[in-house]
Structures are given as C-alpha cells and as structure tokens.
Amino acid sequence: MRNKRSAATLIRLLQQARYEVLPTATTEDKVLEHLPRERVVTVTASPGKGLGATLDLAERLTGHGYVVVPHLAARMVTGRTELEEIADRLVGKGISRVFVPGGDADPAGDYPDALALLQDLREIGSPFAHVGITGYPESHPTINDDLTVQSMWDKRHYATHIVSNLTFDPTLVRDWIRRLRNRGVAMPLLLGIPGPVERAKLLGMATRIGVGESTKFLAKNKGLFARLAAPGGFTGESFLEKCAPALGEEGALVEGLHVFTFNQIAETEAWRTDLLRRLGD
C-alpha cells in the first residue's frame, strides 16, 4: 500500500516525464498520433543513421509544436566548426535544449568524450539554455566506475541537469542519488526508466547501454523476471513505487522521469496516463 507522500512524488514525476525516441521512418507519425504537445520528446543519436537523422526529426517535431531535445553524441561531431553549424541550425529552429552523451561511435574528430564537446559549447557562447548529461547508477560496460563519477563532477559546470541511465535496482538508485548529493553535485536529476517493452528487447538494450549488473539483479529476483516475460512487458510501476521514498527525499532534486520508449510510444503513453489516473483515485 503506497502512502500519500509516495503517491504525490510519483504523480509529480509522471507529470514531468519526457520520452526518448529513436529516429526511424515511423517515429514522427507515432509521436503525432499518440503524444500530446506538452510531452517533451528527446531524439537519440545513432552511429548507423548519423546525426542528420536526429536533427531532422528534432526539427520536424519542433515544427509540430513539441519541445524537443536532440542528442548530440560527442563522438559523432567532427569539431568546433560542425558544432557551431549544428548550434546555429537548432537555435534557428527554436530548439533550446540538448542532451550530450559521449556516444558509442569511434570519435569522428576532436571530441573523444562529452566533456570536450561541452567545453566547446561554452566557448561558442552557450547557445542552449538546457544541457543534459548522462549519469550512471550502475557500472558502464566500457568505463570504470571511478571515471564515471569523476566525469560527472567535471561536467557539472557545463550542464544544467543529469539524466540517469537505466537500472532496475531501487536500492542502487537511492544510494547513487545520495552519493551524488553528498559529493556536491547539485544539478536536478531525471530518473531513467523503461516504458512498457518486450523483455528480450529490454534486456538486450540494457546490456548494451550499461546496466549489466541489472541482469544479475533480475536473475536473483525471479518474480520480476517473470513480470518482464509476461504479456505487456515491464512497465516500471513496482520499480517506481519502491524508488518513491528516495526520489521524494529533501535534497534529492529528482524533477522528472526520462522514459526510454524503444519507440513503443503508444504503449508508453497509455501506461503513464493509466498510472496517473490510478494514483489520483
């Protein structure tokens, strides 16, 4: 039985949920059909598709009236000249928010990591009002834990908020947020969660994007694994309920959710609105 404070926390975070989508041929139509204009949409950057696909979709969705956050994967940008061109292009279309991950591609030029691109954004005049960076509650498959913590510390002067990567462990979320705040990282946080998605797709993506420890967690929690395997997939409701006390702690500064839709856009919005309705009953 959730208490009123936890319910209030979940309502607040669900109302401030934003959706991450992949720039495929059908994404624009799915967003237009299923998402109200007040939902913030973020568009990933894929080495296979190139940044052009990200920027094109971001511009089109902005034209439809959405607030859109394109991902500027640092390793996909060749250098300051291209960065200036991207910034001018996006600002010219009214886009004031970006998310800057390092990215999985081999460096295309001058930016081996997100910090290098963030520093150049500052040098060219900080063209974006909102700049997000990645936080890793769990081990990253290719980056040492100490480096991820130090990296976030180094980037705090260049960003406005943190977006956490996926995890399925509520205790880990609580401990990670407390470590962040004790370290003096005071940027607001958006908690990354998966929307309703098929188990195989979720687990496959989780392993690749840096939540390998969660597969061990799932192996120890057969009930949750069974829920992942059930029709409708994993919605994150139980996970959010268990996280709620930590997310609502004074000083936690968790201001919303970053929902990885894996382009299950209709299903994700239906889940969010249904959960909001039930929380309000």
| pLDDT band, residue 281 (cuts 50/70/90) | confident
Cα–Cα distance for residue pair 191/214, rounded to 1 Å: 16
Cα–Cα distance for residue pair 132/258, rounded to 1 Å: 11
Q: Residue 138 to residues 176, 198, 202: CA-CA distances in angstroms?
A: 9, 22, 16
Q: What's the half-sphere exposure (Cβ side, CA atoms, 13 Å) at 253?
A: 19
pLDDT, tens digit, 9 for 90 and up, residues 104-158: 789 999 999 999 999 999 999 999 999 999 998 876 555 555 566 666 778 888 9
pLDDT value at 209 more than 50:
no
- Give the angle subtended at the CA of 32 by the CAs of 31 and 36, to the nearest 5°: 85
pLDDT, tens digit, 9 for 90 and up, residues 172-205: 899 999 988 988 889 999 999 988 876 666 555 5
Helix (H) or strand (E) holding 254: strand 254-260
pLDDT value at 213 more than 60:
no
Confidence (pLDDT) at 210: 44
Q: Are strands 68-70 and 161-164 parallel, antiparallel or unpaired?
A: unpaired
The region that residue 97 occupies, defined by phi over 0 for left and psi between -120 and 50 for alpha, beta otherwise, is beta
| pLDDT band, residue 212 (cuts 50/70/90) | very low
- Say which amino acid occupies 190: L
Confidence (pLDDT) at 147: 62
Confidence (pLDDT) at 47: 86
Is this prediction's pTM over 0.75? yes
> For residue 108, which phi and psi values (nearest 5 degrees)?
-85, -10
Instruction: Return the higher-pLDDT residue of 142 and 68.
Output: 68
DSSP E strand boundaries for 154-240: 161-164, 189-194
Helix and strand numbers, DSSP H then E, in the chain: 12, 8
